[in-house]
Amino acid sequence: MFDLSSKYYDVIYSFKDYEREAQQVREYIEKQGRDFRTLLDVACGTAEHAFFLKQYYAIDGIDLNPEFVSIAKSKNPEGDYSVADMTRFRLERKYDVILCLFSSIGYVKTLDLLVQTLKQFKEHLNEEGVILVEPWFTPDVWTSGRVDTMMTEHRGIHMSRMSHSDREGPISIMKFEYLFGSEHGIEHYTEEHRMGLFTVDEMIKAFQEAGLDVEHDPQGLIGRGMYIARKTK
């Protein structure tokens, strides 16, 4: 996870067009034909999506990373943000919309925990609400042995990242080497991320086992797809 590089998360992903993605999220929500007002951002990260959505919805969020939660609070002070595990969280309210974006669902790793997580989403959803889940890669498109490099600059901080992909059965493994440079010097971080590779059929079955009706949009925000779910009638 982003335990080491969390303070530089917005530098790493400064290439993402969060404003455009937030508009796409709004379009998914508006297609429901209801006046939704409240939103829970699960695995909210640094709340970049929420920054562009907060003018339309009252947004709360949870994340496993305390530093992310602190940053998210600074971007959306009106929201209630807390440190929580999406596989087993309990909040005091329900929401019209539950989001889980940027493939964060992959961190649950197993199908059993996927179903358990979706049940948590359902328990926090209002009766006519909607759940939007942006998935991780499917097993058939994951490539082991791939090496990628990326360089970017954001607010005076330069970042260079090299990654290597691997796989252990249904688990994808990404090993990252980061260099962050600023006027204060150069910092080096190493991270390993493990995420579950679920097929579309496995994802759909997991939603159904959690008591949810689901549609699958194969395109989604960035080409990884989107699952749009509601409570089973």
Q: What is the pLDDT along the chain (233 residues), one digit of tens a residue?
A: 556 568 899 999 999 999 999 999 999 999 999 999 999 999 999 999 999 999 999 999 999 999 999 999 999 999 999 999 999 999 999 999 999 999 999 999 999 999 999 999 999 999 999 999 999 999 999 999 999 999 999 999 999 999 999 999 999 999 999 999 999 999 999 999 999 999 999 999 999 999 999 999 999 999 999 999 999 98
The answer to whether residue 9 sits within a structural domain is: no
> Do 83 and 29 belong together in one domain?
yes
Chain Cα centroid distance, residue 10:
14
> Do 209 and 107 belong together in one domain?
yes
- Would you say 9 and 45 are in contact if contact means Cβ atoms under 8 Å apart? yes
Tokens matching residue 24: 């796409």
The count of domains in the chain is 2
pTM assigned to the model: 0.96
- Would you say 121 and 131 are in contact if contact means Cβ atoms under 8 Å apart? yes
> Do 44 and 107 belong together in one domain?
yes
Tokens matching residue 88: 């087993």
What's the domain range around 45? 15-138+199-231
**For residue 153, what is the domain's CATH number?**
2.20.130.10
**220: β partners:** 225
